[in-house]
Each structure stands twice: as structure tokens, then as C-alpha cells.
Amino acid sequence: MAVVEKESVPVDRLNEMQPEELLRWAWETHGLRAGIVTSFQNTGCVTIDMAHRVAPDLRVLTIDPLRLHQETYDFMDGIEKHYGIAVERFGPDPARVARMVKNHGEYLFFDTKEKQEYCCQIRKVEPNRRALATLDVWITGLRRDQSENRKETEKVSVIQQDGRKIIKISPLVDWTEAHVREYVKEHGVPNSPLYDMGYTSIGCKICTTPTRPGEDIRAGRWRWFNHLTADNKECGIHTDGDGI
Ligand code: SF4
């Protein structure tokens, strides 16, 4: 396994690169130790589309909490066919899910913020850690305009993950929603049907609801906690590593 040394990562140079250049760099320098981790929202699909042209063998991974809308599972199958790729799916440990459900019930996420975070930990964060164990370069679809929490997201950073360093890249971090939609239209990128049903952020069924005009993109996530945590709409996947 290659070791990422923070000093050897040309962060400043990478920050100057266009998204396609970054994707090409990731493939050329890290090959199968680089991958796009996506939940098949628009930004992730644009990233896959770009990679298809400049680095077609770049891995595509997803975290499947086993709670997604059927539309998302069907869409994922469609993306595989459209781009001729095989998406690597990382799911939760069945024994841990069974224990959680036995102790707290299937719908524990309605009870308290802590239980929601526990569910996300079991179904999303832990599988994501297993996915990241196979990567030295983690490519995400984060954008600064997605929420207050994401305003400071860096395009390229070296983070500490489970005792080692990995490079985290968000190629479209400074794109706006309008910019992404324009690319989708112009390049004929497949689009999740959930957007046409009023969703502006796509996650687990039940925990994700459509948004109303003027609401924050992620306002539909865990809507019943909006009065508590309107500014913290993260499941833990992107707050886990210690930024260094
Ligand atoms: Fe559980 Fe909801 Fe988090 Fe999905 S989004 S892992 S169902 S709490």
C-alpha cells in the first residue's frame, strides 16, 4: 500500500487544477488506490461523467445503508449501464444492524439526534471507513454551497483517517447548483428521478424529504430535527477524519 506523506502532496498545485485535471492526476498518480465515492446526486454524476472522458478506469464506490429509495437503486443500475462501469457497494455489517434494531427499533432515528447519529454511524460511517481503507485518494461530490457546514470545504486536503493520511479531493467544490445543472443539461448526464419529485438532496428514504422553494438544499434531511440542528445536516461521513 502506498503511503501518503502530507509533505509530498502538491496541495497548492492541485488546488489550481480544473476538475478534469484533478481526476486525471488522481488516476495517473494513484491508479486503483483512487476512487470517486458518490451517492449519485448531481455533483457525483457530473464527476463520474468527467472521469469517463479523462480517466475511465477510475473506481466508483458508493455507501449503501440499505435504506435508499428504490429510485436510487434503479438509478445506480442505470448509471452502471450508461457508463459501462461496475459501482463498488459498501454496506453495513448485518450483525451490527440487527443488534441496533433489536435494541432501539427500526425507526430509532426519529427518537433523538444521538440515535439518528448512531444509525448513521452503523449504516454509513462504518461502511465508508471500510471503503476508505481501500483508497489513498478520496474523491467526493462536496460543494461549498450545499450548506453552512460545507462553506469552508477545501478542494484538496490531506486528512487523517484511521491512523494514516489520505488525500481528499472535491473537484467541484466551488461550483454552484446552477453550474452543475447546466453541465448536466449540456452533457446529457443522467439525473436522479428524485429531483423531479422535489428532492434537492438525496439520502436515505424516510430521513430525506423534498424541500420547498427557498429552503436550504439539505433542509429535507432529518426534517424533524430542523428546530435543533438546522445548521448541522451531516451524517458523519464528512466530519470523521481529523483535518491536518
Ligand atoms: Fe439511518 Fe437515517 Fe442515517 Fe440513513 S440517514 S443511516 S436511515 S439515520
pLDDT tens digit sequence for 86-127? 999 999 999 999 999 999 999 999 999 999 999 999 999 999
The better pLDDT of the pair 20, 10 is held by 20
Question: Cβ neighbours of residue 41 under 8 Å, at least 6 residues apart?
Answer: 141, 192, 201, 202
Global confidence as pTM:
0.92
Question: Cβ neighbours of residue 92 under 8 Å, at least 6 residues apart?
Answer: 65, 66, 122, 123, 124, 126, 127
1/227 Cα distance (integer angstroms): 45
pLDDT tens digit sequence for 157-214? 999 999 999 999 999 999 999 999 999 999 999 999 999 999 999 999 999 999 999 8
In angstroms, what is the span from residue 184 Cα to ligand 1's centroid? 28
165/206 Cα distance (integer angstroms): 35
Sheet with 59-63: list strands edge to edge.
88-90, 59-63, 34-37, 137-139, 164-169, 156-161, 242-243
101/157 Cα distance (integer angstroms): 36
User: Do β-strands 242-243 and 88-90 pair in parallel, antiparallel, or remain unpaired?
Assistant: unpaired
In angstroms, what is the span from residue 88 Cα to ligand 1's centroid? 20
pLDDT-based confidence at residue 244 (cuts at 50, 70, 90) = very low
Q: DSSP H helical segments within 137-221, as ranges?
A: 177-187
In angstroms, what is the span from residue 120 Cα to ligand 1's centroid? 5
pLDDT value, residue 27 = 98
The pick from 207, 208, 218, 238 for probing ligand 1's pocket by mutation, whose C-beta has the most ligand atoms within 8 angstroms, reads 207
Of 15-24, 122-131, 219-228, 229-238, give the lowest mean pLDDT range: 229-238
The pick from 64, 111, 119 for probing ligand 1's pocket by mutation, whose C-beta has the most ligand atoms within 8 angstroms, reads 119
Side chain identity at 208, as an amino acid letter? Answer: T
